[in-house]
Amino acid sequence: MKPVTLTIAGAAAPNGRGDVPASNPAEVPFAPPFQTRCKDASCEVCASPRRPRLEITMIRSHIKSSVVIVALASMLALTGCTSGGDSGAAGANPATASKLQEVVKRGTLKVGVLPDYPPYSSQDASGKIVGYEPDIAKALADSLGVKLEMVNTDGTSRKPVLDSNRVDVDIDAFTATNERAKAVDFSIPYVASGALPLFRKDNPIKSIEDLKGKKVSVARGSTNDTLMTKRFPDTTVVRFDTIADAVQAVKSGKVDAVMEGFATVRAEAEKDPSLAVLDVEPINPALISMGIKTGDQVWLNYLNNFIRNLNSSGDNAALYKKWFDAELPAVIAYQG
């Protein structure tokens, strides 16, 4: 087998006499382990024809040993030398195989989505889940060449459905908080959001601060649950298992307002003329990411790459415009 030669620019190359021409780049030849001796009969180190060694042509001392170390490391990387043989997908240990391999082999991508959070995702008149996030989920499935299966989730079931393998990834308005990141691995964000209160027009709410002392509904376990508990300690927080129930509590008069994502409450106000939303900047800014079970870097890398391409292609901006009738937040568009 012909020795592998690595060219290191800016250094000098050794020759058979031990001279180092200053004008040439260094070519450091490496022989496979079974080439047992050099060709210099006067070499004291290799005088024995049966003495096994790795043939490395020695270069003069002014070429630093660190260059050789880098070259060795590069050779190993190029040739894929490992003690365990082939490390490709075909030889992966089933117990440690990535979700990426599992999804492709299964032919179906299972995605957790919210059924009651328009325009992110909701059920249409026929019961089909539609919205911004289902469209992203479909694009992800298409990128993998597999079918899409959507599984309904809520604020309390996102992690359990991951842990039980009912879904491969959550694409369900999952805000990537530091606390959640202790138990779930998050992709880079694909959208940004913030919260606003939705209330009946006959309720005298003129500012965010007017929520103090009132009854405000939230989805249990949501970031808005945390927001209301910490920022408005004088407010009575009424928790519901679903966003739809939290919104319905406003319509029925059980609570004064509901605190939810600004796009969702604005969509509700457009559908129901008896409801209103404050015309102010949203509070509690949040970055929304895909969530997966911890410990699968291969799957996470794929999702991150998918999101970057979704942004750079303009597809994310187009989907956001379609469902929110607005421009994709700059903090997300910049990632492309």
State the chain's mean pLDDT as an integer. Answer: 79
Q: Does position 222 have pLDDT exceeding 80, yes or no?
A: yes
Q: Which residue type does 213 have?
A: G
Place of tokens 């029925």: 252
What would the two tokens of residue 288 be? Answer: 């929304």
pLDDT per residue over 100-151, tens digit each?
999 999 999 999 999 999 999 999 999 999 999 999 999 999 999 999 999 9
Closest to 218 measured CA to CA, from 194, 199, 242: 242
Residue 7 above 90 pLDDT?
no
| 37-64 mean pLDDT | 42
Q: Is 113 left (phi over 0), alpha (psi -120 to 50) or beta?
A: beta
Return the pLDDT at 96.
63
pTM of the predicted structure, to 2 decimals: 0.67
How far separated are the first and last CA of the chain, in Å rounded?
45
Residue 97 confidence (pLDDT) above 90: no
pLDDT at 320 over 70: yes
Supply 198's token pair.
Answer: 């939705």
Domains of the chain in sequence order: 1-82 (no CATH), 97-336 (3.40.190.10)
Per the omega criterion (within 30 degrees of 0), is the bond before 119 cis? yes
User: CB neighbours of 159 closer than 8 A, spacing ≥ 6?
Assistant: 183, 184, 291
For residues 51 and 36, the answer to whether their CB atoms sit within 8 Å is yes
User: Six-digit token pair at 249?
Assistant: 């509590």
Q: For the segment 70-92, what is each residue's pLDDT rounded down to a tens digit?
A: 333 443 343 344 334 333 333 44
The per-residue DSSP string of 186-210 comes to: EEEEEEEEEEEEEEETTS---SGGG
The model's pLDDT over 256-314, given as tens digits with 9 standing for 90+, comes to: 999 999 999 999 999 999 999 999 999 999 999 999 999 999 999 999 999 999 999 99
CB 236 within 8 A of CB 249: no
